[in-house]
Amino acid sequence: MHRYPYGVTTILILSASFVVLCYFIPSTEHSFAINNTSNSLSSLVKQGPTKKVTSALNAIVPSINATRLREIPNNIAASVEKIKNIVNTTANDIRNSIRKTINDIGNTLSSIGIALAVIGSIVAAAIVILVLMRRPRLGLDKHSPLVKTIGLVAYLIDDARIPLNLRTFEIIYKINTVLVQNKGWKAAKNCKGILNIGNEEVKVYWSAFDERDSMTINAHSLEYLDLFAIVDGEPSEIFNNLSDNISKLKNYIADTSLRESLNANIEAISTRYKSAQDIPRIITQSANYGWSIPRERYYLPMSKAETSRPVMVNGNIPIEMVKQITRVIVTSENARRLQEYITILDKPADIRGTAIRL
């Protein structure tokens, strides 16, 4: 019985001691921390604001290795640089990829455009060739001219009582003709010829009797265009022969009755041919009479209006006009206008009577 109360008492004493220790130890640590903080804060009051904060932080935050603190910005900068490099590399790759794609597309489109252009050119050329082949093409044959001989009457008296050699007098002319070719694959319709000398134009005619005014020239064919006729020989010599013939005619009609009917015609002939200048050297055709010496109807009185008409309208080309620019023009209903320059000579260049130089 005495041992039991003693043991209980011992346990109670130990428990009380434990409780006291548990109470005083934290209190002591708390007091110690408060004292330390108070001491630190009191020391900060004596320092400047920056040092106060730094000291306070140093007092509160545990100390860190200074070397590691210096490495942090470097590590951050290196990391940022790596990120920047990665971004730049990615952006460059994207730009290069886009640029390559655009270049590839451009090259492809260029190739397609070139191919289309080549194909279009071939097609256009083929169409042009077909059109040109189907279209008539007029041109002068460089082997021209051809020369034909024709005798034109200077006068004609239709009276059987007069000998034939005195009734008429012919002047020989050489017709200079050019060949107009159609080199196309289609007929050239309604072709008409013009001789242009200086500022004057005169219509010229085709050699065909049925189509003198206008001509249809078939494909790969040619037709003859008569440009002008030049006198064969010297006009002075021709005038002398003509004057001699007129003198014989006057002497022959000594009979009074014959003279009364023919005297007016003989007088008109003498008036018409007074000198060699009255022998036309270069003439063209007339729409109504074809090849004829201009003013052949000498026995008809000419009005003042007729004498003032341009000489080329009357079919006479003055010799001074051949020095001007001369062109042969052929128009057509469905062919391009033909225009070739030529030179008309003042006298035949050869025995054939050629007076054209192409």
Could you read off the pLDDT of 151-169 as tens digits, one per residue? 999 998 888 878 888 889 9
Mean pLDDT computed over 305-331: 76
**How far apart (Å, rounded) are the C-alpha atoms in residues 175 and 148?**
5
pLDDT at 117: 83
| Least-confidence region, from 26-40, 134-148, 190-204, 207-221 | 26-40
Kindly calculate the radius of gyration of the chain based on its CA atoms and give it in whole angstroms: 64
Whether pLDDT at 307 is above 70? no
Give residue-wise pLDDT tens across range 319-351. Answer: 888 889 999 999 999 999 999 999 999 999 999
pLDDT higher than 90, residue 46: no
Give the pLDDT confidence score for residue 229 in this predicted structure.
96
What average pLDDT does the structure give for the chain? 77
pLDDT at 353: 92
Query: Is the pLDDT assigned to residue 193 strictly greater than 80?
Result: yes
pTM for the model stands at: 0.61
pLDDT tens per residue, range 80-137: 777 777 767 777 778 788 888 888 888 888 888 888 888 888 888 777 676 666 689 9
pLDDT at 111: 81
Other Cβ atoms closer than 10 A to 243: 16
Average pLDDT, integer, range 24-43: 44
* CA–CA distance, 177 with 211 (Å, rounded to integer): 16
